[in-house]
Amino acid sequence: MIANSQGRLQDRRPLSIIDIGSNSIRLVIYEGIARSPTVLFNEKMLAGLGRGIVSTGKLDPEAVLRAVEELRRFRALSEQAGSEQLYVIATAAAREAENGPDFIHRAEDILGTDIRVLSGREEAYYSALGVISAFHPANGIAGDLGGGSLELVDVAEETIGDGITLPLGGLRLQDLSKNAPAAATRFVREQLERASLLQGGRGRTFYAVGGTWRNLARLHMEMSDYPLSVMHHYELDPEASAGFLRQVSKGEFDKIKGIDRVSKSRRALLPYGAIVLQEIVEAMKPSSIVVSALGVREGFLYSLLSPQEQRADPLISAAEELALLRARSVTHARELADWSGTTFAAFGIEETENEARYRRAACLLADIGWRAHPEYRGTQSLNIIAHASFIGVDHPGRAFIALANLYRHEGIFDETIASEIKRLATPRLLDRARLLGAMLRVVYLLSASMPNVIPRLRWERRGDRAFTLLVPRDKAGLMGERPDGRIAQLAKVAGMDLKLAVEEG
């Protein structure tokens, strides 16, 4: 067997999950079970198994034939990728259709494994776990809109509260309304009256899960010229997006920028997704609508972790892994993270929990661009971080981490760089990204990107807002014009009197 590339984590064992939904069937092959899962391979087909189920009570015959052939391919792909375990889950259409059991037995024979047909309660549970795993912390109502059903669950940090499954999937609404979205509104409203848990979500976040809502968010990004194409943790203001949702709910696609990027099969379901989201906002009055790229599959994967692994910070876990794969020294990266925290404390700079997490992640990722040409290390690092599949970080935090690394490579006084990404960060985060970048520019010149020096650097207070960074005597040879110049830059950014000196004695 050919050995894995060093670009993969050597202690991971691939596993596959096939998710058989009412509209789509998807295979995801993961690098291994991890707090922040990495996808090795991902493929879906829009089978439409649940199309027509309202009128016939059965899975669509043509969709069944297409699905069976695709499942053969999915099994072959899973085996080709070296997956040691194949998990298969099925949701609303398979559990409700009269011919669902026959299809499941046939699919089990093809896949060579048991298929777990999730109950509505189980589907809601795993969807909630997916949201819990993806946000730090989650606090609100998770809503997973599929082709056949809508799962609503209250989530608060690691606690899963009340939940309900409603017959409000896009394909089902399309069938019920006979392709007339306006006719679906009353039914949606009546069904949501059963979801009393929405009242407990007032003033909290609504987490939108599912392909239809992700496509809605993608259109909203295009319409608003949003500077980042990352879907996870994209946020919509309920009031500001109301006009957009009304437009989509009427099927007025010709006037919407970016509609050509949505497949025709998905496009037909967008009005129903918009209607359901409109009615949820009206009933819940959330503070914000946040898109989650993680759902039932990732919740199922999360359930396979030990309790200790589940408690790990997903952002820090992912940053550690990337440092291990791409930095010159992961130990050096960890030393940077610790030293920057000590420096912030010494300077009297207070941090929220998330600010401290983001700072640590930025340090762990500070050397991932070292193989690039020196003139492009900053840009490459920014692009990798800005577009990485990180979870547990919002878009302003992602911008902070990316900008801190850009400043670390390209300097801190060029106001013209990365103007688009800067739009995402708050003024406070922008200032801190520049400050952290200036700190990193100092210590990289003293460590040569190698470990065991940074922990020995310490700040000594010399007066009000005056500090000296002391270098160990046995490392005095590291002193010079360049480090002195960098400490002067840091002093300017920090608004302090800072010096660099060798320890006495």
pLDDT class of 218 with cuts at 50, 70, 90? very high
pLDDT of residue 3: 56
> What's the Cα-to-Cα distance from 256 to each of 243, 245, 248, 253, 289, rounded to whole Å?
12, 11, 8, 5, 20
Is 10 part of any domain? no
Is 5 part of any domain? no
How would you class 470 by CB atoms within 10 Å of its CB: exposed for 0-12, middle for 13-18, buried for 19 or more?
A: middle
Residue 482 has pLDDT above 70, yes or no: yes
Query: Tokens for 89?
Result: 């889950």
Domain boundary (117, 148, 166) is at 117
Residue 238: domain span: 121-299
**Do residues 310 and 317 touch, judged by C-beta distance below 8 A?**
no
**171 and 88 inside one domain:** no
Residue 214 has pLDDT above 90, yes or no: yes
> What's the Cα-to-Cα distance from 216 to each of 234, 389, 422, rounded to whole Å?
11, 20, 24
In percent, the amount of the chain with pLDDT more than 70 equals: 99
pLDDT of residue 4: 65
Report the range of poorest mean pLDDT among 214-228, 254-268, 275-289: 254-268
Q: What is d(CA 288, CA 270) in angstroms, rounded to the nearest whole number?
A: 20
pLDDT of residue 1: 40
**pLDDT, mean over the chain:** 95
**215 and 335 inside one domain:** no
**287 and 169 inside one domain:** yes
**204 and 131 inside one domain:** yes
Q: How many domains does the chain have?
A: 3
Nearest alpha-carbon partner for 27 in 73, 84, 61, 69: 73
**130 and 91 inside one domain:** no
In tens, the pLDDT along 448-465 reads 999 999 999 999 999 999
Q: What are the CB-based long-range contacts (under 8 Å, 24+) for 60-68?
A: 64/99, 64/103, 67/20, 67/25, 67/103, 67/107, 68/106, 68/107, 68/110
Domain boundary (242, 272, 299) is at 299
Query: Quick one: average pLDDT of 62-78?
Result: 96
**334 and 426 inside one domain:** yes
Residue 261 has pLDDT above 90, yes or no: no
Query: Quick one: average pLDDT of 422-441?
Result: 97
Is 478 part of any domain? yes
Domain boundary (299, 324, 340) is at 299
In tens, the pLDDT along 281-329 reads 999 999 999 999 999 999 999 999 999 999 999 999 999 999 999 999 9
